[in-house]
Structure formats: structure tokens, C-alpha cells
Amino acid sequence: MKITVIGSGYVGLVSGACLAELGNDVICLDVDPRKIEILSTGGVPIYEPGLGEVIKSNVAAGRLRFTTDVTESVAHGLVQMIAVGTPSGEDGSADLQYVIAAARAIGRAMTEYKVIVDKSTVPVGTADKVRQAVQEELNKRGLVPQSPGLSPAFSVVSNPEFLKEGAAIEDFNRPDRIVIGAEDEQAIRVMREMYAPFQRNHDRLMVMDIKSAELTKYAANAMLATRISFMNELANLAEKVGADIEHVRKGIGSDQRIGYHFLYAGCGYGGSCFPKDVRALKRTAEELGMPLRVLQAVEDVNDAQKSVLLGKITRHFGDNLKGKHFALWGLAFKPGTDDMREATSRVVMEGLWERGATVTAYDPVAMKETRHIFGERADLRYADNPKDALHGADALVIVTEWKAFKSPDFNVIKARLKNPVIFDGRNLFEPADMKALGFEYHGIGREA
């Protein structure tokens, strides 16, 4: 099948490359010429494990191409998959300008039937806006809607994406479910055909009305964010009452109705999805006069949790950190990605700088992105490896749970730090073990 993916970011590139891998003929479009230049010359502009290999083999096989040419890409695909960003607007709602711009571009250039797929995470009602934008462009060209009963000039489908950065290829290839919101048979047939290779093992396709599909994506992210904030708030209580949140986690996770996923206490969620999607869902509900109180609490708890390490640091060293120096391990919002959108590391570093401290930071893949965001500044040094970050620091602060941080040489840590103090925002180590090794160790919800 000929497929055009509009937007070559984390979702667009993974979707495009994986669909090409299945034998489809895919063009990935982007408005950012720098990205397309990198992709066209064999590079990958983002870090995502395995993505480079899939792109390379499919480009070599002639099934995957990259372009900034809208006319060429709209002409190409029967399926036009919109995978552009939907960042938070000023009021918290999803900013749909990129989605609508993509829809208009399709409307301006299409000359035959297209299935327009909203892959981006978009609020309920967006498919209608996309349909309207495309139709307006067709009207401008004098292409009036076809008579009822005949096949439409285009269909709009909601097909939200559930992949996780860091495991995106695996998630795309082996999805728990494929949600299709569609209201006409022709579009459903095309979607069934495109996703047929994913159906071999069992039926993963869920066809529903468009609004339910749009809401499903927000409901999933809001539920996951809720579990995290729930555990973080309980972790803070555990510290007060002298309990250990790790015991509590295992105690409740073993209940099959609850399960173990997304129950880790930590220093808050970040990334390109949970924060903005929780905000957007809240905003939708507010606009309809029924605020979602649970999600307000989820967001408030998370905002506070991103500063929980700072609180522990200032309780230990005092609020004035002038002259103090910290080693920071982990900059990406989670392991497996270089994405730093709304990452907790940013809140921690900015809080340390505000109080006069300096930082030496290390991340296995997000160094380039950190440089891109913060540039060169006197209070931030970039380390080449975790050990180098430690030298002369008053304490080690762990923000992201990269595997490479899980079994460090504690003798080296102790020898390099000025004080054997660790603030661990991801509970990588056992407090009792750390005490036995001579560290002052501050985890989350484990201060008993």
C-alpha cells in the first residue's frame, strides 16, 4: 500500500519505518528541512533504539523515502497519516495548528480519494475539524463534495498511537491493540488492509466511533499518569509514617486487579505525552463545565514531585547552595530516549542553579539534547561518562533510571564524591545496602 506519513518525529518515523518494513511504499514528509536532510543522508535525527537499522534497510530496499515536498507526498499515499506534534497551548488545550496545517496541505494538493488518519494525539472533535479544513481547501479549488451515496472524496479516521519512546519499534510492531475510529466502510476497509499483518496472531483491531477513539488515547495516558501520582503521593506519606514504599508497591502490585505496571514511586513524570495529555483532557472537561478533579490532583502531585529531590537536597545542605557542586545522572525524561520535554532533570538543575549550585551532568544519550537546550554556561559542565561527573561533587543526584546506573562501582563513587551522599529519584538501590556501604542515601518513600 502507498502510505504518506506527515511529520517525521518520534511517532511519524517509527510508524513510517515499521510500515515500510511490512512491504508498504512509504514517504515521510516533514516541514523541517534539517530533519529531512539528516534522514536523506542516512542519519536519524532522534535517538530510538533499533530505528536507525529499520530506516536504513527500508531506504535501501526502496520502500522508504523522506521529503519536504508536499505535492509529491500528498500525491503518493492512499493513506495520509498525520503524525505532527500537538503541544500544549497557553490554556493547556492541545495546540492543533500543526494538525490543521497538515490537513489543509492535503486539501490543497489531493487529486483523488484519500484516507486521512489522525495518528497524533488529538482532543475529541478534532476529526471534524480536520474534515472541515480539508473540505474548505477543496471548496477553494472548486471541488464540491460528491453526491450522497457515492464514495466520499476523502475519509477521516482516528488511529491514536500508543507506542512508548525507548521501546517504540517493539510497541509499534506488537501493539496491545490498534484503535480505529471510523465511520465509513471504505476507510475501515483500508485500515484493516494496512494493519492486516498485525492481526496474524490474534485480532488486535478495535473499530469504534471516532470520538471514542480520540478519547481512548487520553484516557490511557491519564490512567497511567494517575497511577504514578498515586504512588508518589503515597511515597511521601510512607516517609512520614516510617513505611517503605517499595514494600507497599509489591504488596499491592501482587493483587491481580492492580498489577505491577506503573507503580514505581519516583521524582515525577515528564516527557512529551503525559503532562500535555493530562492538561489537554482536563481542558476539554473544563470547557464542557465538568472539571476532572482527579486529574487536577494528578497534575498537582506531579508538579510538586518534580521538586521532591530539591526538597531533600535543601533539607540536607540548607537553602543556600552557593559553592555546592552536584553530580547529576540522567537527563532524559526516562531511559531509552533522548527526549527532554518536561523532564524532571530540568526542574532539578534549574532549582540547583537558582540556589547558587553548579552541576556536572551525564546521560547516556541526551547530552546533545541538553547542550541544545542549555548551551554552554558556567554552572553546567557536561561529563563524558558517569564516573567523570562525580569528581569533587558534594552529592550525587540520580534522576533517570538508565540501566547503566543500576550497578555502579560504589567504591569509585565514594572516592570521587566530596561527601558520600546520594539523592536517588528512582529508587535504584536498597537503603540498607547503601547504609552498610557508608553512604547517606535518600530515596523516594524509603526514608524510614
Ligand X SMILES: NC(=O)c1ccc[n+]([C@@H]2O[C@H](COP(=O)([O-])OP(=O)(O)OC[C@H]3O[C@@H](n4cnc5c(N)ncnc54)[C@H](O)[C@@H]3O)[C@@H](O)[C@H]2O)c1
Q: Name the site residues for ligand X (rule: CB under 6 A).
A: 6-12, 29-32, 35, 83-86, 98, 101-102, 105, 120-121, 161, 163, 165, 272-273
Q: Which residue has cell 476497509?
A: 189
Residue 250 one-letter amino acid: K
Question: Between 86 and 236, whose beta carbon lies closer to ligand X?
Answer: 86
Those residues whose C-beta lies under 8 Å from the C-beta of residue 46, and which sit 6 or more positions away, are 9, 10, 13, 338, 339
Name which of 335, 299, 289, 331 is nearest 92 in CA terms.
299
CA distance 338 to 257: 34
Name which of 179, 180, 185, 190 is nearest 157 in CA terms.
180
Question: Between 270 and 445, whose beta carbon lies closer to ligand X?
Answer: 270
Question: Between 55 and 313, whose beta carbon lies closer to ligand X?
Answer: 55
Per-residue DSSP letter, 148: T
Q: How many other C-beta atoms are found inside a 10 Å radius of the C-beta of residue 297?
A: 14
Q: Which residue has cell 503518493?
A: 76
**Nearest approach, Cβ of 331 to ligand X (angstroms)?**
17
**Nearest approach, Cβ of 7 to ligand X (angstroms)?**
3
Question: Between 171 and 388, whose beta carbon lies closer to ligand X?
Answer: 171
Helix axes 210-241, 126-140, angle to 10 degrees: 140
**Nearest approach, Cβ of 65 to ligand X (angstroms)?**
14
Cα separations (Å) of 17 from 5, 75, 198?
10, 19, 15
Question: Between 63 and 276, whose beta carbon lies closer to ligand X?
Answer: 276
CA distance 121 to 83: 8
**Nearest approach, Cβ of 31 to ligand X (angstroms)?**
4
Question: Between 86 and 344, whose beta carbon lies closer to ligand X?
Answer: 86
**Nearest approach, Cβ of 127 to ligand X (angstroms)?**
14
**Nearest approach, Cβ of 222 to ligand X (angstroms)?**
13
Catalytic positions are 273
Dihedral angle, C-alpha 384, 390, 392, 394, nearest 10 °:
140
**Which residue number is nearest to ligand X in terms of Cβ?**
9
Grid coordinates standing for 59?
531506504
Is the Cβ–Cβ distance between 157 and 192 less than 8 Å?
A: no
